[in-house]
Structure 1
């Protein structure tokens, strides 16, 4: 991986959020690339339950200040950064008071999904791309983890299709079994279509449940990793019909060797 640039975009990441499959692999995979000579950038949302003081987050004024249009509304983009000290890894946080100030990640106190999770996902995808453009950092691979990041492949291949900085970037999506119950806002397909993306290309999110979000993500990816042992049969069947490289599930102990081989020989070939 020496010299290769890999952009990691994740819904969750330890040590900023509790450990689960997504947050653990979103930490371990960049750490692996970093230790093998690759260059990395990590992006995640700045949820309100992340302790900014403890983790020493601070705003990057030169990257902040842009407005993103979400469903015909101007939403200010705030960029914060922090470092994972023992790994000397920098993490960029996509922030907006309307979407991410609340003291929770995806659900309210009653366990209900936030009604604007669809807009939060759109904002996150656009915010990552606009910030990487400002950084003028051209990734060889963009690796997506978690459903809040699942719109990134679609937006890169459609909304940002003419951006030269991503012209040669390969998108990898890791598919996990820990999604969510129910659906996001039924108007999600219209909010994405507002950005000029044709509805017939995103028909799956007419019913925006977890599986359908991930179907759109893998459809617009260049390669797929089955990151959980229990990925649903529906998703596995959909992925099996795609003519693109797929890395089957491997145990945590096998991750470094398997992912490195997959990056080098399947994704970057």
Structure 2
């Protein structure tokens, strides 16, 4: 895997957000690959709770400045970057004042999901792709973590399917047992139609529950990793029916197992 390129896209990464199973796993997967000579880039949303001064985030003017269209609205894209101390790994932050300035991550002070989480997820997916295109950095593997990143596989497969930069990229989705209650905005499918027209794959998120959003990521991925020990039976069955390479939950041999899984996927025809 030395000199291969892996793009890690996660809704949560330590040290920028609190330590959760997802945030730690995304960080450790990237750190381990980076330590073995893999070229890595990490992308995450620039949530308002992230302390820019402490973590030394700075805007990258040459990457910022474009507008992304979300449900027929032009939303300015701001790109910020930081380096994880001691690791020399670059982290790119997808930012927009309307979507990410608020001092919270996914829910309000009453623990209710933000009404625009669906648009935030669309903006994040498109922001990642457009930024990587500007970097002209073709990843061998794109490893997705977290539900807010889970529209990325759909966009890569359907909206950016003719983008040559990603023509050889293999998509891995890690599935975690960290569901939210209820659903995202019920108009998510209609908003996706602005980019994807009457695409059959939109039907998966017609009811935008946590499970269905992950199903969308799974059905548009080349391989799946169980990021948590206990995944719901519904998702486990859905993964099995997909008939793609699957890595079971790793506790003891995390480093070796992930690298081997990456290498096998890259070498597969």
Same fold at TM > 0.5: yes
After TM superposition, which residue ranges in structure 1, 4 or more long, deviate above 6 angstroms?
A: none
1:178 is matched with 178
Q: 1:222–1:267: 8 Å Cα contact kept in structure 2? A: no
For 2:11 and 2:179, how far apart are their aligned partners in 1?
11
SS in 2 for 1:174: strand
Q: 1:140–1:168: 8 Å Cα contact kept in structure 2? A: yes
1:144 is matched with 144
Residue 228 (structure 2) pairs with residue 228 (structure 1): yes
For 2:219 and 2:72, how far apart are their aligned partners in 1?
26
Residue 33 (structure 2) pairs with residue 33 (structure 1): yes
- Once the two structures are superposed, residues 33-60 of structure 1 have per-residue CA deviations (whole angstroms, 9 ceiling, x without a partner) of 0011100000000000000010010000
- Once the two structures are superposed, residues 105-140 of structure 1 have per-residue CA deviations (whole angstroms, 9 ceiling, x without a partner) of 000000000000000000000000000000000000
Shift of 1:199: 4.0
Give the alignment of 1:142-221 within 5 angstroms. Answer: 142-221=142-221
Shift of 1:197: 4.1
Residue 91 (structure 2) pairs with residue 91 (structure 1): yes
Shift of 1:266: 3.6
- Once the two structures are superposed, residues 221-241 of structure 1 have per-residue CA deviations (whole angstroms, 9 ceiling, x without a partner) of 000001101111110010010
For 1:185 and 1:231, how far apart are their aligned partners in 2?
24
2:63 is matched with 63
1:72 is matched with 72
For 2:175 and 2:147, how far apart are their aligned partners in 1?
9
Shift of 1:192: 0.5
Q: What runs of 5+ residues in structure 1 fail to find an aligned partner? A: none
2:2 is matched with 2
Shift of 1:255: 0.7
For 2:92 and 2:257, how far apart are their aligned partners in 1?
27
1:262 is matched with 261
1:238 is matched with 238
- Residues 229 and 150 from structure 1, CA distance in 2 versus in 1: closer, same or farther, beyond 3 angstroms? same
For 1:261 and 1:43, how far apart are their aligned partners in 2?
23
For 1:18 and 1:103, how far apart are their aligned partners in 2?
14
Q: 2:247–2:261: 8 Å Cα contact kept in structure 1? A: yes
For 2:263 and 2:196, how far apart are their aligned partners in 1?
34
Q: What runs of 5+ residues in structure 2 fail to find an aligned partner? A: none
SS in 1 for 2:25: helix
Q: 1:204–1:215: 8 Å Cα contact kept in structure 2? A: yes
For 2:150 and 2:197, how far apart are their aligned partners in 1?
15
For 1:11 and 1:267, how far apart are their aligned partners in 2?
24
Q: TM-score, normalised by structure 2?
A: 0.98
Shift of 1:200: 2.2
Q: 1:170–1:268: 8 Å Cα contact kept in structure 2? A: no
SS in 2 for 1:194: helix
Q: 1:186–1:208: 8 Å Cα contact kept in structure 2? A: yes
RMSD: 0.8
